[in-house]
Copies of this chain bind each other. A is one copy, B any other.
Amino acid sequence: MEDDIIYLDHAAATPLVPEAATAMMDAYRDAPGNPSALGHSGRAAARLLEEARDRMAQALDFTPERLVFTSGGTESVGLAVLGTLLPRERGHVIASAIEHPAVLGSLQILQRRGFEVTLVPPDPGGVVDPERFAEAARPDTALACLMHVNNELGTVQPLELALGRVKERAPSCTTFVDAVQSLTRLPLEPERWGADLVALSAHKVGGPRGVGALVTGSRRPQRIFGGGDQEWGVRPGTENVPGVVGFVAALLAAEAHRTERASQVSEVCAAFEEELRRQVPGARINGNRDNCLPWILSISVAGISSEALVRGMDELGVLVSAGAACHARAQKQSHVLRAIGLSPRLGTIRVSFGAESTVDNARRAVQTLARTVKRYAIG
Seen from chain A, the residues whose Cβ lies within 8 Å of a Cβ on chain B are 1, 5, 7, 9, 12-16, 21, 25, 28-34, 36-42, 44-45, 71-75, 77-78, 81-82, 100-109, 201, 203, 208-211, 224-230, 236-243, 307, 310-311, 313-314, 317, 319-322, 325-330
Chain B residues positioned under 8 Å from A314 (CB to CB): 38-40
Pair A13/B226 contact, Cβ less than 8 Å: no
A5 B37 Cβ-Cβ under 8 A: no
Question: Can you spell out 29 A-B residue pairs with CB atoms less than 8 angstroms apart?
Answer: A12-B37, A12-B42, A13-B238, A15-B32, A28-B208, A36-B329, A38-B307, A38-B310, A38-B314, A40-B314, A42-B325, A71-B75, A71-B240, A72-B237, A72-B240, A74-B225, A74-B226, A77-B225, A78-B226, A101-B228, A102-B227, A109-B226, A203-B238, A208-B242, A209-B239, A210-B243, A229-B326, A229-B329, A238-B326
Q: When chains A and B are docked, how far (Å) is the Cα of A102 from the Cα of B209?
A: 23
Kindly state the separation between the CA atoms of A201 and B14 in the bound complex, as whole angstroms: 26
Q: A72-B237, A72-B238, A240-B210 are in contact. Are A14 and B39 (CB under 8 A)?
A: no
State how many angstroms separate the Cβ of A350 from the closest Cβ of chain B.
10
How many monomers of this chain does the complex have?
2
Contacts A39-B310, A39-B321, A229-B326 supplied; 11 other A-B pairs, CB < 8 Å: A1-B44, A5-B40, A12-B42, A13-B32, A13-B33, A36-B325, A38-B322, A73-B237, A75-B225, A77-B226, A78-B224
Q: Which of A102, A109, A240, A330 counts the most chain B CB atoms within 10 A?
A: A240
